[in-house]
Amino acid sequence: LKNKDICINFGEEKFMNNCDKGEAEVKGCLYFTISKLFRIVNKVAEESFSKMDICPTHGFLMVLLQEDEEGLSVNKISETLTIAPSTVTRFVDKLVSKGYVERIKVGKQSFTKITKEGKKIMPEVYACWGDIFKKVESMAGEKEYMNNVAKVITEFAELMEENQKNL
């Protein structure tokens, strides 16, 4: 494959398309469309969490930890958030420095657990998530439409993740 052949065009029947035809092709390219959607939603999410001085993934990590009182291993967090273990470690380090989570050693295993201070800020974390959903829903224009698109995107991501294992 050449660079110009790697675009997946979802606006037509064909899946391989020559991407050097300019803006029309970029707008029809799955890769660029997904990237564009991520940048738009990520900007909204980062703005919502900026007042807490944590990123959205930190907030979601805290939600996971709040739901599991025993704590979670780096590997479990990595699998759940689909991020590298080294990234999990970096995120946990930031949350430890803020006093929101702690590392607990049990034998040879290490777990990350939410602290009392972390539990205190959870209403603010949930408020940030609520703010994100309200803004995205407002941008989408219709809640039912947004929910349908979210369902299709989720199914597509799960399909791609499963099939990636077979490559």
**Rounded mean pLDDT of 52-65?**
94
Give the C-alpha separation, 150 to 23, whole Å. Answer: 26
Give the C-alpha separation, 159 to 71, whole Å. Answer: 29
The pTM assigned to this predicted structure is 0.76
Counting every residue written for the chain, the total comes to 167
Give the C-alpha separation, 162 to 167, whole Å. Answer: 10
Enter the DSSP assignment of 73. Answer: -
The residue assigned the tokens 């739901």 is 67
**Rounded mean pLDDT of 39-68?**
94
Residues 129-139: pLDDT tens digits? 999 989 998 99
Beta bridge mates, 158 = none
